[in-house]
Structure 1
Amino acid sequence: MLADVRACGWHVVMVPEDAEGPALAYTVGLTQTFRHPELILFGLPLPTMQAILNLAAALIREGQRFPAGTHSKQLLEQTEVRFEQVNARHHDEFLGMARRSTGKVPFAALQIIWPNRAGQFPGPGLPVSVTRQPLLQ
């Protein structure tokens, strides 16, 4: 992981689905390398999430920024995603390697949230199970 961060600026950690929740993937190194919040994504196939996070990190390396509360059509074909701030209370549970890599230094993270096939983002009135994304705001 640290070798990847030194070599290209980030690493993608992938966690398979289990009895406790959907698959997830997140970055390590964006904070240290590019002064950008780490990114986390849930509920898609692991190779898809890895590709999305690598694309986002490459765009960040080129100067793109993804502020909380914004949308982007750059990461999924023909689909808009939303970026939301991750509450720090979730860092240990979902972003453990990112937490370890920064030591005691606080860091920010953004959740990339994708819509279901009907174009609905998870939230009030739409069960998390529809999109397999716990919301970490």
Structure 2
Amino acid sequence: MATPEEHAAHNAEAEQRILSDVKEHGFHVALFNGDGYSPSFAYTIGLYKTYGYPELICFGFGLDLLHSVLWEGKRLLDKQPKPDLGVGYPDFLQDFDMRFVIVDPTRYQDYFGYAAWFYDSWDFPALQTV
């Protein structure tokens, strides 16, 4: 188990990377490995601040695919900033079809910790890619 000092150093490093990526790319993709109980997942940080888009979250793939899904989600939002939540997007990424689902803000605390740090608030929109 990490010591409080190790945990603080990890957070400081992660926060610096988030700020750097948002400055350079407009957003950051936070990636989290599954732990045998919870699946791997990833979410964006900065889409709302930089572009006015909802943050995106995705679950259950390998980290490389999660990263690609969120980048493609951002590209889709570039073309359609207000996606139609009632339709899917065929061939979203190679042979994957995808749709967006609104994330219930009561669930943000379970997954969006670094986004809340970035915004200094839980007040940002989020969509899950499924």
Q: Which has the higher helix share?
A: 2
Cα pair 1:24 1:43 within 8 Å, conserved: yes
**Which residue is equivalent to 2:80?**
64
User: Which SS does the other structure have where 1:53 is aligned?
Assistant: helix
1:89: which partner in 2?
A: 106
1:69 deviation in Å?
3.6
Q: 1:37 aligns with which of 36, 49, 54?
A: 54
**Which residue number in structure 2 is paired with residue 27 of structure 1?**
44
Shift of 1:54: 1.3
Distance 2:122 2:27 in 1: 17
When normalised by structure 1's length, the TM-score is: 0.74
> How do residues 92-107 of structure 1 correspond to structure 2 at under 5 angstroms?
92-104=109-121, 106-107=123-124
Letter in 2 for 1:16: N
The two structures have a TM-score, normalised by structure 2, of 0.78
Deviation at 1:63, TM superposition (A): 3.8
Q: Which runs of 4+ in 1 moved over 4 A?
A: none
Over aligned residue pairs, what C-alpha RMSD do you find? Answer: 1.6
Which stretches in structure 2 are left out of the alignment for 5+ residues? 1-17
